[in-house]
Amino acid sequence: MNFRLLGNRVNPLFSNTFVLAPHVVSFKPVNNCDMNASFFDKHSIRLIQAPMAGSQNHRLAAAVFLAGGLGSIPAAMLTTEQLQTELSAFEDAIASLTDIPLQWGGCLPVNVNFFCHTPPTEQLEKEAAWRQQLTPLYQAHGIDPQSVGSGPGRAPFSEESLKLMGQFKPAVVSFHFGLPKAEWVQQLKSWGIQIWSSATTVQEAQWLEQEGVDAVIAQGLEAGGHRGMFLSEDLSTQMGCLALLPQICKAVKLPVIAAGGISTAAAVSAAKALGANAVQVGTAFLTSHEATTSALHRQALMSDAAKHTALTNLFSGRPARGIVNKFMRDFGPLNPEAPAFPLATSAVAPLRAAAEAKGQSDYSPLWSGQNASDCQALPAADIAHKLLQGWT
């Protein structure tokens, strides 16, 4: 055990309690970024803060890292310039930790997450028909239907993203909705970057293994946000974490990260018992001090409303889990007439803005997993420490 390094990682706010970052306790120097199979053991990474586009930035990622987990920076709703700013800010946030370059072999100790959907072909007619359906709502909120835009709200991994990853060399790049071009994945791997991706079925996990990923995120049906499904659009293929995790562990030789509904130390222990190498937690961090979750979203998460979530395609075009609100009740939660992902985003955007200005979340995507009952307004480090107690 290297006490000099441990000393660097003590959070002064909690210096009388258990706060030592476990990924420092097992510190072993490495010479490059090639941390492949033993990544989780080598770095004692057992808790990954789930990437949550629109609800967090480098601050949450850095806070969770400093508390002993691995933080994530979601890129899906950022331009390349914005992502660059986020990564630089993350670097600054951990700059005082002098042992990091040695310990992480020159990689930035963070997971950068991308969507990798194929952008849909133009759907001008479908988008127009959808806006037509929403016209009474636009009128009720004083919005000129002619002013409602169209186009995508989220961008997939691109050549520019690849270049930026080459510049910052994060320890992990994770994907949602499959994988981008094989040559891009190879390039990332050649820099020693770990590649992870979400699997929502056993078949997806096996496909990802064949494509050479380093770890699979078993995303159970309880999970908040978008389903990462990519081999099938059939929602009846989706299963809860308790069923999915052991089946994926049995079917692939890769490390498996459990995600979906994990919000307590007991749930972390359960995931470990079922064969997970680590857990990925999203919803429990949404009400942390460092998350950028809006006040309305936080309020919903900590209210009785959060007891009822559903998969909806109304906000983006793909099924994603959120707290049921007026828009979902009146138009869905799933509606085949909503434009394809990510085109549905723009039609609801002005309604969301108008309602939010009046303090209403009727048209906001209130992403949440099925278990928000443990959400608390706490520093992310406190949440991370509680969860990590489940891994001992």
CB of 358 to ligand FMN, least distance (A): 23
| Rounded CA separation 227/246 (Å) | 19
Pair 264, 374: CB distance under 8 Å: yes
Question: x/- site string to ligand FMN, residues 82 to 121, per CB under 6 A?
Answer: -------------------------------x--------
60 lies in the site for ligand FMN, by CB under 6 A: no
Pair 264, 390: CB distance under 8 Å: yes
**Interface with ligand FMN: number of residues (CB under 6 A):** 27
383 lies in the site for ligand FMN, by CB under 6 A: no
> Which of residues 5, 52, 87, 108 is near ligand FMN by CB under 6 A?
52
| Rounded CA separation 196/280 (Å) | 12
Q: Is 25 exposed, middle or buried (0-12, 13-18, 19+ CB in 10 A)?
A: middle
| Rounded CA separation 369/261 (Å) | 6
Residues 211-270 that bind ligand FMN (CB under 6 A): 219, 222-226, 259-262
| CA distances to 213, 247, 251, 257, 299 from 218, in Å | 13, 10, 12, 6, 29
For the record, the structure tokens of 257 come out as: 């990260």
Pair 117, 100: CB distance under 8 Å: no
Q: Which stretch binds ligand FMN (CB under 6 A): 183-191, 207-215, 361-369, 383-391?
A: 361-369
Q: Closer to ligand FMN at the Cβ: 103 or 264? A: 264
Strand order in the sheet with 256-259: 47-49, 278-281, 256-259, 215-219, 194-199, 170-176, 108-115, 72-74
Q: Closer to ligand FMN at the Cβ: 24 or 262? A: 262
Backbone angles phi, psi at 275, to 5 degrees: 110, 5
367 lies in the site for ligand FMN, by CB under 6 A: yes
Q: Closer to ligand FMN at the Cβ: 52 or 344? A: 52
Q: Closer to ligand FMN at the Cβ: 58 or 226? A: 226
Report the b/e string of 284-323 with b at 16+ CB within 10 A.
Answer: bbbbbebbebeebbbbbbbeebbeebbbbbbbbbbbbbbb
Tell me the sheet residues that pair with 47.
279
Q: Closer to ligand FMN at the Cβ: 74 or 178? A: 74
> Which of residues 11, 55, 309, 325 is near ligand FMN by CB under 6 A?
55
| Rounded CA separation 52/174 (Å) | 12
CB of 115 to ligand FMN, least distance (A): 7
> Which of residues 20, 24, 70, 76 is near ligand FMN by CB under 6 A?
76
Q: How many residues does the chain have?
A: 392
Q: Closer to ligand FMN at the Cβ: 27 or 175? A: 175
Task: Name the residue among 169, 39, 192 with its Cα closest to residue 110.
Answer: 169
> Which of residues 103, 283, 309, 325 is near ligand FMN by CB under 6 A?
283
> Which of residues 176, 318, 352, 385 is near ligand FMN by CB under 6 A?
176
Q: Closer to ligand FMN at the Cβ: 198 or 361? A: 198
Which spans of this chain sit near ligand FMN (rule: CB under 6 A)? 50-53, 55, 74, 76, 113, 176, 198, 219, 222-226, 259-262, 280-283, 367-369
